[in-house]
């Protein structure tokens, strides 16, 4: 990342500090000045045309990846991973990339609002709002404890601390503050607590694992820390032979994670637990695992009592599968057994988690790939049961004031719970959401929080990491940091129980004294340490994982065979809910980029859908696009069908993150952990008699026998390539650079992070659902997901498809006006203002990577503030396409020129390569034989797309490795 | 100045015979005006072929020259590489060579034929101001011995003979 | 006796042609109105595209060309009959052309006028269409002469200019003839069109020479134009386009559609304008034979295209695309096309069918439809079924595209109908020459007999 450190210089920091300082000075009523004071003499680091980088942290999910925000002329234009951050490792997922859209969302609340008697929201000054709220709180406090409740997202940092302090000050009880994280791995915590005594989340090191088995844990999508786990997995990918990390996917549906797997064990819905038990039983069987961990030995008799045939029958697999799985795990150690994930989180989720942990212990994975003692356990999410209890209290009128902090129960809880009705019973619902969401629609008082990019804050996602958030720009609207508002409230309360500083900055610094200790090394003044930490994006220090002791007696409780599920009634299918990166958990409005980009597995965008297997669809006479009426005992929903061969015939699958799934969710719990049971439901399916045009990106999901995406194996480690030595004309000269890219298909997980990054970097317009139906998405890079080599054969492949920057580009000679040509640096340039829009280039592009501007795009204010000033916004009637982020190339070349040195390898990174969590995309100069891209492209796995037509692309794909099972 | 005798005929054959007779009789220069290029009449007049060919050929060659010059010089003026093909890609340019040859060739042909048709008083009205586009053929004799000419024309079967 | 009868025949012919404008009554104006309203509707549809961008069409990726390009190729095809009949048949000395070539030439000129619009219409930014022409500018930017679209610019504009010149050169003497009998504005117009024609032997000598050269230029031109148009497709990489067969295949197709259109127009024309004894069943018969002949060539091309593709493995995109045409989503159009272009014309092998004017008209109308479908098939199916299966997608034209397609017919017929008011629909001079020739031969034979 060029220019980071000069990016956040002393001056910058002082400026920010000054702001907050000013805030401090003016703290307590009268309200703070919330605007940065414009400079008469501009600070020297703000140079028009030069980006300025700030380090902060992503709050889209609890993983807490580090972020580098690129600002231009005082506004954030792009988010990227923070390379120094151990979690994100310089990458961001699709959600993280899109989070900047919330900052510039046109419907963002621009100030506090109060719902009047007429039910309409009316603007109200901050003072009055806080005054009113303070009054309400005081009144509620009089009535005794429990009248004031707080529903918040997990806030392992200042914000959380302030919340706790305030509630304490209001005489609240422990349970009055409910932490809401719909996808929290509560069963795993519960199992840890039961087995090892501590309710912590393990941290994984998959880079050490030789075989990873995911029991419905979509760790490449939403599970625990997807970006980190993706990176770890990819470290073991991209080599042929025994040293390559194998991934096995266990579940009734082949998820995106399953598509990256080497083998899919198609257990029936809820079959993960029986399989896990059978596996554990197999492992402890004498002679199978020579150095069986002593801790689990005592369990052997209990396990031996289990009937393996019954278990495998329940799992819907064969004994040989267990045998094969067991033998592989024994042979390939260390390994990692992951689960349960949301998709496999059923009524026995805790037992599944426990059994998997036991298997990890048995295999000696604990301490090597499954690490403990790294969960700071700072603000762990409450269980679903607690959330339900809160709603019940609300419904029962036991709550006077409900403060909602970045939580959207109405938008993410099963409709069966009637969250909406419960909220209606609360006299005063206060939301700090900065965007209108389902909960906000029922709130009486809106106190919009800053966006993460506008506020200070810190989160400690894990021991050894305190990620620091800082404002990267002036707040756009009249918003206020929620924690700051709480502090001010505390100030307004009569006789505050616990004295709190009136200003968040002071509070934050006080905390810094504590959380910086490990890095301060006994420094008296912690401020410079804090400054350095903020420049780096966080305080990072060594935190060693600790040992855990297995409580065998507790473990024994988890070895009982799960209760037999009742046989499905006729016409009933197992209903599988699964999460996707793009749709998320359904809280709050979804950034349009995430709606526009196509789902990895189905390539559907802009709508929810229901998946049926090919056979089941045929049985029901359903084709893609037919609207299905899906009904559970909780409710019914109408969803368009998508026919997906990667699904068991006895299952219908519905994505989470939308009202349809919520309508169908029964809202049962896993009693052991109190977690919401997503799995275990059954549904009846019927045709609704309508059909819609399903917005899918794919034409044919199969390669039609054209072997477009090559594979290699240990048996055949090299791709067979056609002989293209014959030349009709000399190659055009590339005197200095010849930019090229290598994409490792063995690492690519089809996560779509690159796609969203490209939207953000290159001002790619969002076209909407109609356009998606017509195939008019404007994305410059798309994930071509092929389900198989020919029709009916399931063997998924990902092919990230972007402009190949061919040497013999077919698009170039057909343009009558030279609007596209081959630059001396090997780029296929598109000259927008020369293009007349014949569209011949697209017709002649065998890769179909050129997009046409069917209309003028309007970037509604303030979305236009996000536009990258280095990239033209294209007008109607012109062609556009991937430029290899030519603006970044020029920038790096410019920097190198100023320092008069050649451009170093890796100095230029297109947005897609920069954010790739799997580090599958490598960019560089093909003229330099030593560059990474040259070396990768020269490797045996290298091939070009449609090589046989001799377009000679600058992009080399590295074939995915297919290992036949050992 | 010689006298001008006009004989009108209704039938190309007759006109042709009369013209031959006039020439045998040495009645000065003989010309004709007719609604269509009747071969026998043209043959009887026995004038040498039109020189239009020379003009048109030069035009066509000039067209070819332009056709070659335009794409070659234009491509060299801004040498951009497209599709890995050479800057001066002769096979691709052949179309332009050909089209410009034809275009400029035919335009010269048009200009040439008009010029020739209008030259030598081609634009001036015919002697006697009559036009012969309809159903008659006019045979003119420019002679110092009009009487003889009239005689020959009558003998040739002219429908009417007059001095103009 | 032959004298009088010859001149009588001349006079009769000339009167018949001169009478044409007078024969155009109310029905004619209704037709003109119809054409005009179609034309205006098309213009309205296009204005929508200009205002809102091509998003209002149903075009998509990968199918970025649809009706508009189909129309372009179709009308260029229509434009081919004229020059073929007037120039090629002239060089072959096929006498039957004389009666019909003027109508064909008019069709050519208006056909090119129509075709020439569409490359501009289909642009994303039509207001910059002039960038396709090589004009000197201060930035020294020139078109890319390696692009088939640049070749189109040259081929089509050359063809338009040359065929227009050819038409008016042919009209010159006739205009002079009609000037003598016409009055009012027509007289002045004919005076202009006659280009100072007096019909002297000197003028005729240059004229016949010039006409020969025009024919000599136009003949290769007519072949080149549609070859160039075919290269718009053949030069590309797209399966179903990338084929060396295309130039002859397209030329044959063009002639088929063109001649069919000539017949379609001639049959009502000769009735309404009472030209039945000038444009006789014999002429129609000869044209019908021409249709049959080129239809055989087209049929051969279809079969060769598919036959050759069958020799490559099933995974081959070329093969896949060509079979897709016959079996995929567009199969009905494909088979309708085969019926119209191959089966229909075969019937013309039967004299009874050929000489039955309603049958002939029906078959030729069908060929017009079939040829439009052929172009649609080539343009759309190939694009919708490209190399990467992931990007396959269908295209079906929306009302805007249809509006412009029908609008183009309005535009074409508007000009054609209006021109009937002035231009002689039959070449009087050449007819007279033929008549005289016929009589001359006849007289000769009579003499021998006697």
pLDDT mean over A130-156: 93
In this complex, do A853 and C124 lie within 8 Å of one another by their Cβ atoms? yes
- Find chain B residues with C-beta within 8 A of C180's C-beta: 131, 133-134
DSSP A168-225: HHTT--GGGEEE--TT--HHHHHHHHHHHS-----EE-TTT-SEEEEES--TTTTSSS
Confidence of residue B144 (pLDDT cuts 50, 70, 90): confident
CA distances in angstroms from C421 to C267, C273, C274, C417, listed in the order given: 18, 11, 15, 7
Using CB atoms, which residue from B95, B110, B116 is nearest to C151?
Answer: B95
Helix (H, G, I), strand (E, B) or coil at A629: strand
| pLDDT of A21 higher than 70 | no
Q: Which residue shows structure tokens 């001010």?
A: A488
Q: Which of C157, C159, C179 is nearest to C167 (CA)?
A: C159
C410-432: average pLDDT: 90
Q: Do B52 and C202 touch (CB under 8 A)?
A: no
Give the pLDDT of residue A20: 46
Cβ of A801 within 8 Å of Cβ of C388? The answer is yes
Tokens representing A356 are: 């998997």
pLDDT at B161: 85
Express each pLDDT in C88-129 by its tens digit.
888 887 778 888 888 999 999 999 999 999 999 999 999 999
What's the helix, strand, coil split of chain A in %, to 5? 30, 20, 50
Sequence-ordered list of residues with C-beta below 8 angstroms from that of A174, at least 6 positions apart, any chain: none
Task: Using CA coordinates, name the residue in chain B closest to C181.
Answer: B134
Distance in Å, alpha carbon of B126 to nearest chain A alpha carbon: 53
Query: Rounded distance, CA A409 to CA A391, Å?
Result: 9
Q: What is the pLDDT of residue C280?
A: 86
CA dist., res. A585 & res. B86, Å (int): 55
Nearest CA in chain B to A828: B82
pLDDT of res. A31:
46
Q: Which positions 84-143 of B are in contact with C (Cβ < 8 Å)?
A: 85, 89, 92-93, 95-96, 98-100, 102-103, 105-107, 109-110, 112-114, 116-118, 120, 122-123, 125-126, 131-136
Mean pLDDT of C307-323: 91
On whether the CB atoms of residues A296 and A284 are closer than 8 A, the answer is: yes
Whole-number percent of chain A with pLDDT over 90: 82
Query: Which pLDDT band holds residue C278 (cuts at 50, 70, 90)?
Result: confident
Kindly list the residues from chain B whose CB atom is less than 8 angstroms away from the CB atom of residue C228.
95
- Which of B14, B52, B78 is the closest to C141 by Cβ? B78
Cβ contacts (< 8 Å) between C440 and chain B: which residues? 12-13, 40
pLDDT tens digits along C201-249: 888 989 999 999 999 999 999 999 999 999 999 999 999 999 999 999 9
By Cβ distance, the residue of C207, C214, C217 closest to B117 is C207
Task: Give the phi and the psi of residue A379 in degrees, each rounded to 5.
Answer: 60, 60
Asked if pLDDT for residue A425 goes beyond 60, the answer is yes
The residue of C46, C52, C64, C228 whose CB has the most chain A CBs within 10 angstroms, and thus the best one to mutate to test that interface, is: C64
Query: Which among C144, C180, C209 has the least Cβ separation from residue B134?
Result: C180
Contacts of B97 (CB under 8 A, 6+ apart): B64, B67, B68
pLDDT at A856 over 90: yes
Query: Quick one: which of A86, A85, A57, A158 has its CA closest to A468?
Result: A57
Contacts with C146 from chain A: Cβ below 8 Å: 813
Least confident of A854-868, C2-16, C67-81, C347-361: C2-16
B10–C204 CB contact, under 8 Å: no
pLDDT tens-digit profile of A256-309?
999 999 999 999 999 999 999 999 999 999 999 988 999 999 999 999 999 999
Strands (E), A862-954: 879-880, 921-925, 942-943
Quick one: pLDDT band at residue C441, thresholds 50, 70, 90?
low
- How high is the pLDDT of residue C442? 52
Q: Residue C176 and residue B133: Cβ atoms within 8 Å?
A: yes
pLDDT at A12 over 60: no
Who among C64, C144, C317 is closest to A852 (CB)?
A: C64
Q: Would the CB atoms of C436 and B36 count as touching at under 8 Å?
A: yes
Locus of tokens 């065929």? C163
> What pLDDT does A38 receive?
59
Residue A124 has φ and ψ, to the nearest 5°, of -150, 140
Q: What value does the mean pLDDT take over residues B114-141?
A: 83
Bridge partners of A75, per DSSP, are: A72
What is the C-alpha to C-alpha distance for residues A596 and A607, in angstroms, rounded to an integer?
A: 10
Mean pLDDT of chain A: 91
Give the confidence band of A22 by pLDDT, cuts at 50, 70, 90: very low
Chain B CB contacts of C132 below 8 Å = none
Cross-chain Cβ contact C149/A816 below 8 Å: yes
Q: What is the pLDDT of residue A23?
A: 42
Question: Is C237 in contact with A840 (Cβ distance < 8 A)?
Answer: no
Among residues A129, A226, A155, which one has the least CA distance to residue A185?
A: A226
* Chains interfacing with A (3 or more CB pairs < 8 Å): B, C
Comparing C-alpha atoms, which of A348, A407, A337 is closest to residue A370?
Answer: A337
- Over residues A687-742, the pLDDT tens digits come to 999 999 999 999 999 999 999 999 999 889 999 999 998 888 999 999 999 999 99
Confidence of residue A29 (pLDDT cuts 50, 70, 90): very low
Give per-residue pLDDT as tens, A633-668.
999 999 999 999 999 999 999 999 999 999 999 999
For C319, which residue in chain A has the nearest alpha carbon?
A: A706
Please confirm whether the linkage preceding A818 is cis (ω < 30° from 0): no
Task: Give all strands (DSSP E) within A781-925, no chain letters.
Answer: 781-786, 797-802, 820-822, 828-830, 851-852, 879-880, 921-925
Each residue's pLDDT tens digit, A938-948? 999 999 999 99
The whole-angstrom distance between A864's CA and the closest CA on chain C is: 21
Model confidence at A1: pLDDT above 60: no
Mutate to test the interface with A, among B81, B91, B93 (most CBs of A within 10 A): B81
pLDDT bracket for residue C445 (50, 70, 90): very low
Rounded to an integer, the average pLDDT of A425-433 is 95
Q: Which DSSP state fits A26?
A: T
Confidence of residue A34 (pLDDT cuts 50, 70, 90): low
Predicted local distance difference test score (pLDDT) of residue A6: 46
pLDDT attached to residue A328? 94
**Confidence class of residue A519 from pLDDT cuts 50, 70 and 90?**
confident
The pLDDT of residue A50: 85
Name every chain A residue with its beta carbon within 8 A of the beta carbon of C121.
Answer: none
Residue C262 has pLDDT above 50, yes or no: yes
Smallest Cβ–Cβ distance between C124 and the set A701, A839, A846 belongs to A839
Distance from CA of C32 to the nearest CA of B (A): 32
Residue-level pLDDT at B162: 86
Chain B interface with A: residues with Cβ < 8 Å: 78, 80-86, 92
Q: What is the mean pLDDT of residues B78-92?
A: 92
Q: Is the torsion defined by CA of B94, B99, B100, B105 positive or negative? A: positive
SS3 A758: helix
Phi, psi dihedrals of residue A446, rounded to the nearest 5°? -105, 115
- Residue B46 — left, alpha, or beta (φ > 0 → left; ψ -120 to 50 → alpha)? left
pLDDT of residue B111: 94
Lowest mean pLDDT among A448-452, A475-479, A494-498, A877-881: A494-498
Cβ(A920)–Cβ(A744) under 8 Å?
A: yes
Tell whether the model's pLDDT for residue A8 goes beyond 70.
no
With CB atoms and an 8 Å threshold, state whether C125 touches A707. Answer: no
Average pLDDT, chain C: 90
Nearest CA-CA distance, residue A932 and chain B, Å:
25
Q: For residue range A803-827, list pLDDT tens digits in order.
A: 999 999 999 999 999 999 999 999 9
CB-CB under 8 Å, B80 with A813: no
Residue A37 has pLDDT above 70, yes or no: no
How are beta strands A610-612 and A636-643 bridged, if at all? parallel
pLDDT at position A42? 66
Burial class (CB within 10 angstroms; exposed 0-12, middle 13-18, buried 19+) of C339 = middle
What distances in angstroms separate CA A399 from CA A72, A396, A416, C68, one per listed residue?
A: 46, 8, 21, 67
Of A526-535, A880-889, A944-953, where does mean pLDDT reach its minimum? A526-535
Nearest-by-CA chain C residue for A879: C124
Residue C33 has pLDDT above 60, yes or no: yes
**How far apart are alpha carbons A676 and A346 in whole angstroms?**
8
d(CA A577, CA A222) in angstroms, rounded, equals 13
Task: Report the pLDDT value the prediction gives residue A496, as an integer from 0 to 100.
Answer: 60
pLDDT number for residue A768: 94
Return the half-sphere exposure (C-beta side, CA atoms, 13 A cut-off) of residue A874: 28
What confidence score (pLDDT) does residue A36 get? 58
Q: Which of C428, C436, C431, C7 shows the shortest CA–CA distance to B10?
A: C7
* Chain B from 4 to 33: CB within 8 A of any C CB: 9-14, 31-33
């Amino acid at each position: 990342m060029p220019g980071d450190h000069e990016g956040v210089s002393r001056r910058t920091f002082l400026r920010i500090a000054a702001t907050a300082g000013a805030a401090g000075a003016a703290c307590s009523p009268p309200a703070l000045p919330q605007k940065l004071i414009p400079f008469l003499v501009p600070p020297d680091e703000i140079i028009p045309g030069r980006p300025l980088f700030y380090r902060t942290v992503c709050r889209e999910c609890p993983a807490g990846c580090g972020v580098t925000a690129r600002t231009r002329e005082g506004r954030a234009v792009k988010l990227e991973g923070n390379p120094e951050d151990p979690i994100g490792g310089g990458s961001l997922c699709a959600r993280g990339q899109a989070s900047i859209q919330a900052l510039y969302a046109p419907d963002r609340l621009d100030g506090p609002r109060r719902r009047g008697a007429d039910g309409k929201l009316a603007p109200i000054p901050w003072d009055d709002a806080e005054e009113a709220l303070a009054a309400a709180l005081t009144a509620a406090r009089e009535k005794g404890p429990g009248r004031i409740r707080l529903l918040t997202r997990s806030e392992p940092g200042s914000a959380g601390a302030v919340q706790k302090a305030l509630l304490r000050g209001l005489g609240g009880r422990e349970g009055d503050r409910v932490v809401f994280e719909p996808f929290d791995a509560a069963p795993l915590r519960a199992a840890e607590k039961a087995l090892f005594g501590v309710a912590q989340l393990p941290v994984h090191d998959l880079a050490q694992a030789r075989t990873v088995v995911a029991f419905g844990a979509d760790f490449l999508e939403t599970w625990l820390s997807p970006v980190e786990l993706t990176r770890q997995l990819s470290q073991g990918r991209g080599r042929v032979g025994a040293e390559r990390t194998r991934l096995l996917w266990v579940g009734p549906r082949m998820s995106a994670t399953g598509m990256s797997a080497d083998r899919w064990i198609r257990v029936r819905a809820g079959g993960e637990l029986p399989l896990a038990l059978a596996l554990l039983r197999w492992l402890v069987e004498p002679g199978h695992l020579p150095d069986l961990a002593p801790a689990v030995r005592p369990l052997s008799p209990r396990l031996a009592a289990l009937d393996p045939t019954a278990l495998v029958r329940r799992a819907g697999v064969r004994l040989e599968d267990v045998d094969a799985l067991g033998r592989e795990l024994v042979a390939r150690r260390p390994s990692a057994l992951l689960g349960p994930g949301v998709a496999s989180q059923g009524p026995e989720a805790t037992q599944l988690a426990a059994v998997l942990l036991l298997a990890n212990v048995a295999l000696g994975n604990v301490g090597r790939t499954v690490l403990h003692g790294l969960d700071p356990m700072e603000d762990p999410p409450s269980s679903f049961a607690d959330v339900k209890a809160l709603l019940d209290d609300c419904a029962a009128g036991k709550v006077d004031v409900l403060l909602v902090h970045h939580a959207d129960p109405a938008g993410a809880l099963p409709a069966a719970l009637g969250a909406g009705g419960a909220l209606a019973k609360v006299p005063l619902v206060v939301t700090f959401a900065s965007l209108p969401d389902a909960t906000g629609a029922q709130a009486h008082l809106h106190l919009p929080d800053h966006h993460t990019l506008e506020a200070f804050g810190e989160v400690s996602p894990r021991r050894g990491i305190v990620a620091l958030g800082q404002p990267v720009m002036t707040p756009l609207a009249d918003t206020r940091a929620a924690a700051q508002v709480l502090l001010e409230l505390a100030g307004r309360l009569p006789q505050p129980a616990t004295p709190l500083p009136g200003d968040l900055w002071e509070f934050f610094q006080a905390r810094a004294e504590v959380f910086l200790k490990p890095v301060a090394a006994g420094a008296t003044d912690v401020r410079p340490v804090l400054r350095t930490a903020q420049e780096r994006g966080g305080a990072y220090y060594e935190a060693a994982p600790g040992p855990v002791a297995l409580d065998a007696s507790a473990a024994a409780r988890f070895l009982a065979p799960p209760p037999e599920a009742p046989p499905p009634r006729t016409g009933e299918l197992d209903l599988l809910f699964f999460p996707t990166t793009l749709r998320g958990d359904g809280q709050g409005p979804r950034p349009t980029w995430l709606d526009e980009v196509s789902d990895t597995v189905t390539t559907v965008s802009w709508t929810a859908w229901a998946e049926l297997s090919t056979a089941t669809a045929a049985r029901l006479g359903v084709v893609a696009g037919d609207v299905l009426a899906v009904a559970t005992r909780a409710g019914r929903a109408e969803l368009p069908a998508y026919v997906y061969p990667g699904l068991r015939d006895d299952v219908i699958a519905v994505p989470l993150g939308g009202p349809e799934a919520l309508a169908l969710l029964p809202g049962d719990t896993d009693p052991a952990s109190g977690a919401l049971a997503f799995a275990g439901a059954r549904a009846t399916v019927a045709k609704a008699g309508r059909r819609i045009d399903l917005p899918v990106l794919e034409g044919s999901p199969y390669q039609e026998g054209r072997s477009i995406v090559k594979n290699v194996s240990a048996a055949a480690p090299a791709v067979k390539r056609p002989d293209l030595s014959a030349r009709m004309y000399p190659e055009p000269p590339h005197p200095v650079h010849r930019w090229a890219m290598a994409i490792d298909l063995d690492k690519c997980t089809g996560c779509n992070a690159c796609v969203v990054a490209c939207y953000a970097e290159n001002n790619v317009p969002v076209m909407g659902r109609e356009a998606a139906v017509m195939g008019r998405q404007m994305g410059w890079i798309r994930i071509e997901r092929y389900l198989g080599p020919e029709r009916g054969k399931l063997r998924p492949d990902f092919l990230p498809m972007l402009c190949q920057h061919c040497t013999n580009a077919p698009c170039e000679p057909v343009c009558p006006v030279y609007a596209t040509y081959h630059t001396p640096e090997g780029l296929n340039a598109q000259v927008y203002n020369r293009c007349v829009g014949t569209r011949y280039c697209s017709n002649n592009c065998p890769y179909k990577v050129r997009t046409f501007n069917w209309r003028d795009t309007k970037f509604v204010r303030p979305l236009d503030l996000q536009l990258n000033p280095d990239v033209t916004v294209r007008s109607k009637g012109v062609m556009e396409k991937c430029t290899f982020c030519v603006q970044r190339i020029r920038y790096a070349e410019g920097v190198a020129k100023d320092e008069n040195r050649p451009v170093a390898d890796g100095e230029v990174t297109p947005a897609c390569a920069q954010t790739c969590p799997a580090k599958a995309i490598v960019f560089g100069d093909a003229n330099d034989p030593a560059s990474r891209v040259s070396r990768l492209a020269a490797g045996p796995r290298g091939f070009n797309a449609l090589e046989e037509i001799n377009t000679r692309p600058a992009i080399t794909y590295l074939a995915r490795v297919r290992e036949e099972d050992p | 100045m010689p006298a001008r005798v006009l004989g009108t005929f209704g039938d190309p054959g007759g006109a042709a015979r009369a013209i031959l007779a006039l020439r045998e009789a040495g009645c000065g220069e003989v010309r004709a005006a007719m609604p269509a290029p009747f071969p026998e009449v043209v043959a009887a007049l026995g004038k040498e072929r039109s020189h239009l060919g020379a003009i048109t050929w030069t035009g066509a060659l000039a067209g070819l020259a332009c056709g070659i010059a335009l794409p070659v010089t234009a491509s060299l003026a801004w040498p951009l590489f497209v599709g890995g093909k050479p800057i001066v890609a002769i096979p691709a340019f052949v179309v332009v060579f050909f089209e410009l040859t034809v275009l400029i060739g035919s335009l010269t042909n048009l200009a040439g034929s008009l010029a020739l048709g209008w030259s030598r008083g081609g634009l001036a009205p015919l002697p006697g101001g009559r036009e012969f586009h309809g159903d008659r053929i006019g045979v003119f004799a420019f002679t110092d011995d009009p009487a003889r000419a009239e005689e020959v024309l009558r003998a040739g079967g002219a429908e009417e003979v007059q001095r103009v | 006796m032959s004298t009088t009868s010859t001149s009588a025949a001349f006079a009769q012919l000339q009167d018949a042609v001169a009478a044409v404008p007078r024969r155009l009554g109310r029905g004619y104006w209704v037709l003109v109105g119809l054409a005009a309203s179609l034309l205006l509707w098309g213009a309205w549809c296009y204005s929508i595209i200009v205002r809102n961008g091509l998003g209002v069409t149903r075009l998509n990726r990968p199918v970025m060309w649809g009706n508009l390009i189909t129309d372009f190729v179709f009308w260029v095809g229509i434009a081919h009959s004229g020059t073929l009949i007037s120039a090629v048949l002239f060089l072959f000395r096929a006498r039957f052309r004389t009666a019909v070539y003027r109508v064909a030439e008019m069709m050519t000129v208006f056909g090119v006028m129509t075709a020439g619009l569409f490359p501009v219409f289909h642009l994303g930014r039509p207001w910059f269409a002039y960038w396709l022409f090589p004009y000197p500018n201060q930035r020294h930017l020139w078109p890319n002469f390696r692009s088939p679209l640049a070749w189109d610019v040259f081929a089509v504009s050359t063809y338009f200019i040359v065929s227009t010149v050819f038409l008016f050169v042919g009209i010159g003497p006739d205009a002079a003839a009609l000037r003598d009998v016409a009055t009012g504005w027509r007289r002045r117009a004919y005076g202009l069109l006659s280009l100072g024609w007096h019909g002297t032997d000197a003028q005729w000598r240059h004229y016949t020479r010039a006409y020969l050269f025009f024919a000599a230029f136009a003949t290769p031109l007519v072949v080149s134009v549609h070859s160039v148009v075919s290269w718009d497709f053949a030069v590309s990489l797209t399966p179903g386009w990338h084929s060396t067969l295309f130039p002859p295949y397209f030329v044959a197709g063009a002639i088929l559609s063109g001649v069919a259109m000539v017949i379609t127009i001639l049959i009502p024309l000769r009735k309404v304008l009472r030209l039945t004894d000038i444009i006789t069943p014999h002429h129609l018969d000869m044209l019908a034979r021409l249709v049959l002949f080129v239809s055989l060539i087209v049929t051969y091309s279809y079969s060769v295209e598919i036959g050759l593709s069958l020799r490559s493995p099933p995974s081959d995109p070329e093969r896949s695309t060509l079979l897709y045409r016959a079996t995929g989503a567009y199969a009905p159009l494909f088979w309708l096309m085969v019926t119209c272009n191959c089966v229909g014309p075969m019937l013309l092998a039967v004299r009874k069918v050929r000489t039955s004017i309603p049958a002939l008209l029906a078959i030729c109308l069908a060929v017009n439809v079939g040829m439009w479908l052929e172009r649609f098939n080539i343009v759309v199916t190939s694009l919708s079924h490209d190399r990467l299966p992931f990007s396959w997608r269908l295209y079906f034209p929306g009302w805007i595209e249809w509006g412009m397609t029908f609008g183009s017919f309005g535009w074409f017929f508007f000009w054609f109908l209006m021109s009937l008011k002035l231009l002689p629909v039959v070449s009087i001079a050449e007819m007279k020459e033929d008549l005289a020739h016929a009589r001359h031969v006849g007289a000769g034979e009579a003499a021998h007999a006697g």
